[in-house]
Chains A and B, each alone.
Chain A
Amino acid sequence: MSLKAFTLFILLSVYIQADKLHDYQSFFKAHCLDCHNEKKQKGKVRLDNISLKISNLEEADQWQAILDAVQSGEMPPEEEPEPPAAEKLDFLSQLSHKLVEARTELSDSGGKVIMRRLNRNEYANTIESLLGVKVEVGNLPDDRSAESFDTDGGGLFMSPDQLVQYLSIARGALEKTFRRSQPQKITQQRYQVEKKNAFIKKQREKLLNEYKSVQAFRNRTNQEAKPSDFGIKDLRATQIISNDYKRFFPAFERYLNDPLSEQGFLLALFRPIPQLAVDLKTQVKQKNNPHKMKTIWAPEGMYKLRARVAKTENADPERSFMDLNIMTDDGLKRVDSFHITASTDDPQIIEALIEVKEGSRRVVLSEKSNEGTARAKFAKSRIDKSKNYSGPGHAVWVDWVEWEGPLEFNQTTQVQKILEASQSKLPEEELKVFLEAFAYEAFRGEQANETFIDKLINIYNKEMQLGKNSQEALIEPLAIILSSPSFLYLSEASVDNEKKPLSQRELANRLAYFLWSFPPDEHLVSLANKGQLKAEVLRTEVDRMLANSKSKNLYQSFVYQWLDMERLYLFQFDPKKYPNYDETLRDNAAEEVYQTVKYIVDNDLSTKNLIQSNFAILNGMMARHYGMGNVIGDEFRKVDLPKDSVRGGLLAMAAISAMGSDGQHTSPVERGVWVLRKLLNNPPPPAPANVPQLSRLEGKDLTVREILKVHQEEPQCSHCHKKIDPIGLGLENFDATGRWRAEDNYSKKKIAINPAGSLYKGPSFASYEELRAIIYERADDFNYGLISSLLSYSLGRPIAFSDRALMDDLHLRMKKDNFSMRSLIHGIVQSKEFQTKK
């Protein structure tokens, strides 16, 4: 329900309250009060004196327990008559919606913004902006939860172990800063990848020789002879070798017979030669013994990695994507992916920035495919050409790989000062000035107290006494600054029970973390220092900040949480069913969502484009996934859609479809719930825990529609599912990965999908397009949801009924500006709430 509708609801409810009260009370009277009354409080439950005016958490819990008991069929007990279905339905429906409202109402902080800790992302960004290095934050809590944004102080906790982590991450970051600051010679190395041929030939020879031994064993004249007499481990090994030979020898042959392998490397889908691994090292002659070679590993730092690549002739366009991965302590990590479209006559050069460090000195180029999907594609191609054991041919060819680095370390102002201070032991006065200045910067414009600085000086002196050098001795004092509350918390000065306008610097901090998840830059700080962050200047500043690349944090962080995109990462997809859907595609699908919202903000377009639009923001990979072959390259760009296209808008995006599936099948329930929550701003009650899966239907050949019919049989299901299921079924033309389909498979039977249905007590639709049009008509509801979410994210607190006036204002303002999301951002920043601490 939109807030406006809710206002109406409250007004109306004044008149109909008598009726409403009557509803649940008469239900109690008819079915509950015999056992749960003043005298006979069976199970210690009394219902004759309980009111549906829920005013605290305890009452909410009590009503939740009642709802759960009736919903699960636990009450009324078996020996008592079951309430008529319609009555039960009304009761459950009324109660569950009341509870959704009550939960929102109870989370109303009355506009209070609780001081918050930097969340994990902001913390990493803030360290990076001070010290110029990226830090590993995997050991800190994720901070993103389904219930509130990771900017909500109430949900951002501190624990002892976390504090220990902050100290240790800060020490590590400082050490890294010192290492990276050492002067390095930039070198450029090129690796001619056909050097791998020697190894490949060796592998082939090995397999061939083993197979010859197996043949010899099989043709033996002496039946007593054992496999080991032929150099084979045992009987099992003969089988393995002969299978490997059958599968892999043709692949070796094909590889080495291909003239392209003489000048480069051919990637393949599957063993034996799937990927190209290159170690970032060089071999140089030893100084004192020129006959011996010495390995020199690339020193740590940032590198430019380039590769010259092309697609092979007649390559399957589905396979024209290459992943660039780097080895880490946690295994192989994808850095980037590339659309490979150049021919071998005129290859393309791809480039990526990589971080080389201990344990991360191996880059791996591979076709876009994880092992599962590669195996599936491989199997599929073998079915196509049943006798070809070598699988599909090569699609991507690599000419060479080169790396350049370590690139000059970009020293931030603070790093320059730290380096200066670490030259030699500082006299106490200078040390004090330095620490105060660093703390002022790290504390975002707050002075550190003198005792604090004195203690840091003592620690520095102690370290020097213990024989540390002037650089090492600085680490602990600086790490302490970076683990202190003034750094870790966005602490705005506040007074009990009073609204206080933010200081200019506090406003700058709030703004920078809202739009960038980074601390303010020099420009923003200087405006704040001059007291100019007001009205038009503030507006110009917001526009400047949105144009800055740091604003990608707004999209990745806010949009991910607003749209509940966590679900995208919950399931792995069945590679046999969806050989194209792997982690690379999934990440690109998420990027499509972020890029679309960004495009709408950047171009001051209407948010209605998120429901339906005549364009999509795609790159080569996503366009290929949707069957649109004319988009080339990796960057996302606007693609105009034909009039009758089903694409355009969130519902047609692969990410949204995939979030509404379990990796095997679509889940109309998940999709319907998502539409109600995110597009129609009419969230159904949370799914009751402890609902049995519809297992009695398992194994029967039923369509999704038939299965979901079960929901209509029981009132405890139908009171929510009658709203959810029709919407989800209307989206059935999108398969689990967002590809369009006209039919679904049921145990090898194809059944045409029928998306028709109607919204609960609303219009009916015959197709996805008609459903989309109905949702488009309700864009006001969508925008109310967006406003409430963005407001909550930006203010760092839950949004509740006390924010109604502000939300109405923002909505009006947006409407005036053609539903521009940029206008909404301006509106929020200009609002009194954003500029006040309460």
Chain B
Amino acid sequence: MKDAENVQLAEALAPIRDMVKACIQCGTCSASCPNAFAMADTPRRLWRMLQAGEVQMVLKSGSFTLCSACYTCTLRCPRGLPLTDAMSALKQVVAHQDALRFASTTLFYRKFMESVRRHGRVRETEFMCLYLTAMKNPLLPFQFAPLGLKLFSRKKLDFRPPSKGGDARMDALFQKVHELENAP
């Protein structure tokens, strides 16, 4: 069973592995990454794991979820590798492969996009309400409270309820993306 899973995962990761095969482990990406301090495994180590075919380790690591897509590593990589794309591809693969573990992270993304779909931009208040409701954890709002108050005091948050339902102008776009993503 485990082996079959491994094979399936390796297949899913193969295109990402191809992206970083030419890496020479110079470390430019890791030294450039603004989030590397918080990662258990630096970007360079992730590429190494991919090269060596250590698929389970990649999955376990999860450091790629911290990528904020600033593209600094892509800009600076002397090998010209699409590192940010690789990070985002990793996120997509594990979102499918290990849905349970990354449930809260993917939920965060989904609710974010839901708000975008409705309004063409994110409405922070609505987005957080959607997210916190979906998480079904009564204690969770308290964790975000200090940040929310800080943002509010700086007039970064709008507590007015969002206009009802939006006007669905973004639906076509999202529909198309969905089709493309699920195309064979």
A and B interact physically: no
Footprint of A on B, CB under 8 Å?
Answer: none
